[in-house]
Amino acid sequence: METYDVIVIGAGFGGPVAAKKCADAGLKTLMVERSGIPGEKVISGLVIPIYGFLFGPAFIRNGNPPIERPICSVVNRIVKGGKIAFTDHSLKVPAPVVLGYSAYCKPFCTWLADRAVESGAILRTSTTVTDLIVEGGSVRGVITETGEALRSRIVIDSGGTQNMLSIKAGIRKKFVPEAIELYMIWDFEMPKADVDRVFGTSMEFFHAMPEEKIGAPLGYGSTLYFFTYRDSIHPGLGQFLITEGKVPNVQKLLRDYFSNFTATVTRWKQDIAPHAKLRGVMWDVCPIYAGLLPETREMPIYSDGFLIVGDAAGFEAAAFGDGVPNAWFSADIAADTAIEALAAGDTSRSFLARYEEKIKADPFIIHTISDGRRWNMREILKSRDENEFRRKVRDHWGIGAFRYGNMGGPCLRAARRAVAEDGKSISSWLNMFRRYYANWEQNRFDRLSTD
């Protein structure tokens, strides 16, 4: 029977971050991933916001991961009768500074897993973990689908949203459907010159009142968004499984919203559609409101010998659904906790309680999972006040995103903390902006193990 210091479940966005740090500390670390190649089962947006890169693990910032496009601005369109009634373009920064980077999950997660393997972690793909080994109330390893028992002193669960293992072990419960948004995603090829001309380095949102039928009722889903990639675009939209108290026909609604959008909105018909060719259609769920609902928010994120990170812990950001930064932060904290626990020879619940303390002290995690900006868009459904609608869009997706009470405060606190810990933080951020931008211009990134 194989024995490891640490077993990490999942090689998505969080898992490799935890595994790399544990391996760097000399721990015998195993990552178990159910897909054949890391990231090929992760369906996401994806624009990873900049706070993840600035304040997340240094190896990402200092590396050359495969990004698709630097995102320097957000364009918010308010649609009325198929026309753009109002555009808010208040949120923009000058390149090479960015608001985030777009990416595809498969190459990005493979890049992350490659870094963990480089540090000495072992990666086992095409292997589904079906159970936790629990002895005397402590997690002592995992069991795979073939019945194989893999033992470890600590298990880090970064298995993502559905999170069956801790439910089966009685540690957590399934997320309530009110917390879950179902997203439908399309991927279109579009020549780079056209993406450059039509979108530049912006991403674009289309907000509307429900009667436009191009998205879920405000607050009950994400507005239709266009994420822009190198030579493709990646629209998506979502709706909560429970909307205004009941389960609507979500599978039909999501399709209808997109076909209404493509049939009526001139921005699509004139500027985008002539250059775009459909290449992918997919969907997934996202526990966006997990941190806003008391029954999900209070669920345990650790147990004896067991630490839960990322989506599996309910760390999806509630305003935008940007879960990658929190997956990185929590994976980093979980690895620190595991390293300390193994050094102290104590993996008990009481020792691992420091994981939760550090999560609570993180400038972003609790703030972002409790951010009610999207949820509160519901108020517009009652007031029907158009000025209020514009104001909220600006406050949420526009320049207001940087207000101190929104993301400004956490970013300032994190920056102060980073600079206090390492005087070279600012130069490492500037280097990252420059290097990532040059990498993008030259389309040159680290080779992947799968290339």
Partner 1 sequence: MVRTSSEFPGIEWVEGTGDFIRIDGEKCTGCADCVRVCLAGCFAVEEKKAKITSLERCMECGACWYVCTGDAVSFSWPRGGTGFRTRWG
User: Which residues make beta-bridge pairs with 413?
Assistant: none
Are residues 302 and 314 in contact, defined by beta-carbon separation less than 8 angstroms? no
User: Please, which residue, 246 or 384, has the CB nearer to partner 1?
Assistant: 246
Q: Which phi and psi (to 5°) does residue 202 adopt?
A: -105, 160
In the complex, minimum distance from the CB of residue 377 to partner 1, in angstroms, rounded to a whole number:
22
Binding to ligand FAD (CB under 6 A) within 111-130 occurs at 128-129
HSE, CB side, 13 Å, CA atoms: give it for residue 420. 6
Per rule CB under 8 A, is residue 127 in the interface with partner 1? yes
When asked if residue 236 is in the footprint of ligand FAD (CB under 6 A), the reply is yes
Residue 10, interface with ligand FAD (CB under 6 A)?
Answer: yes
Which of these ranges, 189-197, 309-317, 336-344, 387-395, lies near ligand FAD under the rule CB under 6 A?
309-317
Calpha distance 180→373 (Å, rounded): 16
Beta bridge partners of 71: 100
Which partner in partner 1, ligand FAD, none is near 160 (CB below 5 to 8 A by kind)? Answer: ligand FAD
Backbone angles phi, psi at 71, to 5 degrees: -110, 110
* Window contacting ligand FAD (CB under 6 A); options: 68-76, 84-92, 152-160, 409-417: 152-160
Q: What 3-state class would DSSP assign to 359?
A: helix
The answer to whether the beta carbons of residues 98 and 433 sit under 8 Å apart is yes
Tell me phi and psi for residue 96, to 5 degrees.
-85, 5
Question: What is the token pair recorded at 92?
Answer: 């923009």
Per rule CB under 6 A, is residue 319 in the interface with ligand FAD? no
Nearer to partner 1, 97 or 122 (CB): 122
Task: Check binding of 204 to ligand FAD (CB under 6 A).
Answer: no
Give, as ranges, the residues between 218 and 237 that touch partner 1 (CB under 8 A): 234
Q: Which of 6, 7, 9, 233 binds ligand FAD (CB under 6 A)?
A: 9
Output the six-digit token pair for 328. 């990185």
Cα dihedral 33, 65, 116, 17 sign: negative
Asked if 62 interacts with partner 1 (CB under 8 A), we say no
Residues 272, 276, 278, 279, CA torsion sign: negative
d(CA 182, CA 247): 12
For position 340 contacting partner 1 by CB under 8 A, the verdict is no
Name residues contacting ligand FAD, limited to 26-55 (CB under 6 A).
Answer: 32-35, 41-48
Site residues, ligand FAD (CB under 6 A):
9-15, 32-35, 41-48, 128-129, 158-160, 165, 183, 185, 236, 284, 286, 310-312, 316, 321-324, 327
Site residues, partner 1 (CB under 8 A):
34-37, 39-44, 104-106, 125-128, 130, 144-145, 161-162, 164, 174-177, 180, 182, 184-185, 187, 234, 241-242, 247-252, 254-255, 278-285
